[in-house]
């Protein structure tokens, strides 16, 4: 490998390479299990990233897939060894989070902690990793009757830990936030809370910790109707390092298909280039904060 990677990134690199190699050969997971004399569940768990593969298992599997190039084999064997390094249990692996957070959400949190770049496109609310506690409470608290008070509490703790993790890594990760104007106009939590949220985001943008742009209402361009999403890049040098996270009212998912992530990245860049520039967006946010402060009951 030409760059240092963590066990998280190395595990993903190996499992995706194995899945792509199997699919390129037109093999089913059952056929691989039969050939390698493994259980079907072992193949599935390796490709899903639930377990790592030992180098001694990886070598014959690569041979079965016809991967014989010395550099490719060496790269994957090195990644497999890194993937098996012992890591301290992450906070989101604790039982309370495993019980209440979806697999996709926990994988997103894992990837965010390793990301070199995050691109967030949102049409309704601020991205979760930027939500201050008061805004998150006002937003998620509205769903208490549907999902229960216990789950709301866990979701809020998880969201705050995500935010704290990102704030601690701002020197190591590039953050691009693209918001439709409606996000700035929807005063979640009321004027005081929402003004506080905008001030936090304005400070981050003014200090160049995040790149912030707005898609105005009067933009004469077709806006994607497939909802908000995050693109998380795990490497600066590999085009296949980007993962997509998206959710709706019913479910959420992590998508690692390169064609899908490439399409969303292209769409993001198109809209980014059409959006209000960063300086003008910050000015808009400042105006919006002043409007909210005039409505605040504390004034």
pLDDT of residue 264: 93
Rounded distance between C-alpha atoms, residue 297 and residue 299, angstroms: 5
Cα dist from 271 to 48, 259, 275, whole Å:
32, 19, 6
Q: Which residues contact 137 (CB under 8 A, 6 or more apart)?
A: 156, 189
At residue 125, the pLDDT reads 93
Mean of pLDDT values over 118-142: 93
pLDDT of residue 243: 94
Give the end-to-end CA distance of the chain in Å, rounded to a whole number.
58
pLDDT digit string, tens, across residues 52-103:
999 999 999 999 999 999 999 999 999 899 888 765 678 888 899 999 999 9
When pLDDT is cut at 50, 70 and 90, the band that residue 299 belongs to is: low
Cβ atoms of residues 75 and 9 within 8 Å? no
Of 97, 223, 247, give the one whose Cα is nearest residue 157: 97
Whether residue 159 is predicted with pLDDT greater than 80 in this model: the reply is yes
The pLDDT score that the predictor gives to residue 1 is: 47
Give the model's pLDDT for residue 225. 61
Element (H, E) at 252: strand 252-255
Tell me, what's the pLDDT at 5?
A: 64
Q: Is 286 in contact with 136 (CB distance < 8 Å)?
A: no
Return the pLDDT at 226.
Answer: 62
Residue 16 has pLDDT above 60, yes or no: yes
- The model carries a pTM of 0.83
Specify the higher pLDDT residue, 225 or 115.
115
- Collapsing DSSP to helix, strand or coil, 11 comes out as helix
pLDDT at 86: 64
List strand residue ranges (DSSP E) for 79-208, in order. 117-122, 174-180
């Amino acid at each position: 490998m030409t760059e240092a990677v963590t066990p998280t990134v190395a595990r993903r690199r190996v499992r995706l390479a194995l899945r792509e190699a199997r699919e390129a050969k037109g093999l089913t997971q059952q056929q691989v299990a039969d050939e390698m004399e493994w259980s079907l569940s072992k193949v599935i768990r390796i490709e899903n990233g639930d377990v790592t593969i030992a180098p001694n298992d990886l070598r014959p599997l690569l041979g079965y897939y016809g991967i014989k190039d010395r550099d490719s084999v060496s790269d994957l064997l090195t990644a497999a060894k890194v993937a098996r390094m012992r890591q301290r249990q992450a906070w989101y692996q604790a039982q309370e989070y495993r019980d209440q957070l979806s697999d996709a959400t926990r994988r997103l949190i894992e990837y965010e902690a390793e990301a070199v770049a995050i691109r967030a496109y949102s049409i309704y609310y601020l991205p979760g990793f930027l939500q201050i506690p008061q805004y998150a409470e006002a937003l998620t608290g509205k769903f208490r009757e549907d999902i229960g008070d216990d789950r709301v509490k866990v979701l809020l703790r998880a969201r705050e830990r995500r935010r704290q993790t990102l704030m601690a890594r701002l020197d190591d990760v590039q953050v691009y936030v693209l918001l439709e104007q409606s996000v700035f106009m929807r005063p979640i939590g009321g004027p005081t809370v929402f003004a506080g949220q905008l001030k936090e985001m304005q400070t981050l943008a003014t200090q160049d910790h995040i790149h912030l742009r707005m898609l105005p209402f009067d933009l004469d361009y077709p806006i994607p109707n497939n909802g908000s999403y995050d693109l998380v890049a795990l490497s600066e040098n590999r085009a296949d390092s980007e993962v997509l996270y998206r959710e709706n009212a019913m479910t959420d998912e992590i998508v690692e298909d390169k064609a899908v992530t490439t399409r969303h990245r292209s769409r993001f860049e198109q809209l980014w280039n059409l959006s209000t520039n960063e300086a003008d967006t910050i000015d808009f946010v400042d105006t919006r904060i002043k409007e909210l402060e005039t409505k605040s009951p504390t004034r």
